[in-house]
């Protein structure tokens, strides 16, 4: 269940992703919103047993291992960024979702109050598509 006043932010381990997170946390601190950090990873659409052996031989097991690994990595990025920001921090949740970044961000933004994405060297294709198709306002932050 999403908290009232939710800022969704796409984060990866890039300067743009970190800048987007800093912006989202600052905006949430001003408004009393919660921050939902979302990161996308490629869906490993492999047939069961391709890698062989347990636990990766079960359907969905590789996706689960990747999800946990990506989520843990992004959670560490979040902790690093928060450590450099003044406390108190708004509530922050971290999710890793299999899929293409644009689709993952747009689904996460449904019902959100704001979507924040990072960029470097101008607004890239993910940022442009989010601006055009998001169900809420979008802020693009330069990294």
The secondary structure of the chain as a DSSP string is -PPSSEEEEE--SSHHHHHHHHHHHHHHHHHT-EEEEEEEE------TTSS-STTTTSTTHHHHHHHHHHHHHHHHHHHHHHHTSPSPPPPEEEEEEES-HHHHHHHHHTT-SEEEEEESSS--HHHHHHHHH-SS-EEEEE-
Confidence at 78, pLDDT banded by 50, 70, 90:
very high
- CATH fold group of domain 6-142: Rossmann fold (3.40.50)
Q: What is the pLDDT of residue 53?
A: 43
Question: pLDDT averaged over the chain?
Answer: 88
Q: What is the pLDDT of residue 43?
A: 77
Highest mean pLDDT among 24-28, 52-56, 61-65: 24-28
Taking only the tens place, the pLDDT of each residue in 4-14 is 699 999 999 99
The whole-number average pLDDT for the span 101-126 is 93
Q: What is the pLDDT of residue 36?
A: 98
- pTM score above 0.75: yes
The whole-number average pLDDT for the span 83-109 is 96
Q: What is the pLDDT of residue 45?
A: 60
């Amino acid at each position: 269940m999403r908290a009232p006043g939710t800022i969704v932010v796409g984060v990866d381990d890039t300067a743009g992703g970190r800048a987007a997170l800093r912006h989202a946390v600052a905006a949430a601190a001003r408004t009393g919103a919660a921050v939902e950090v979302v990161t996308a990873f490629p869906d490993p659409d492999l047939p069961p047993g391709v890698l062989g052996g347990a636990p990766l031989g079960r359907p969905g097991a590789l996706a689960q291992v990747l999800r946990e690994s990506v989520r843990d990595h992004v959670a560490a990025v979040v902790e690093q960024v928060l450590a450099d920001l003044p406390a108190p921090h708004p509530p922050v949740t971290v999710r890793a979702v299999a899929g293409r970044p644009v689709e993952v961000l747009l689904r996460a933004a449904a019902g959100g109050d704001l979507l924040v994405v990072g960029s470097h060297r101008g607004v890239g294709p993910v940022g442009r598509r989010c601006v055009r198709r998001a169900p809420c306002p979008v802020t693009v932050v330069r990294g």
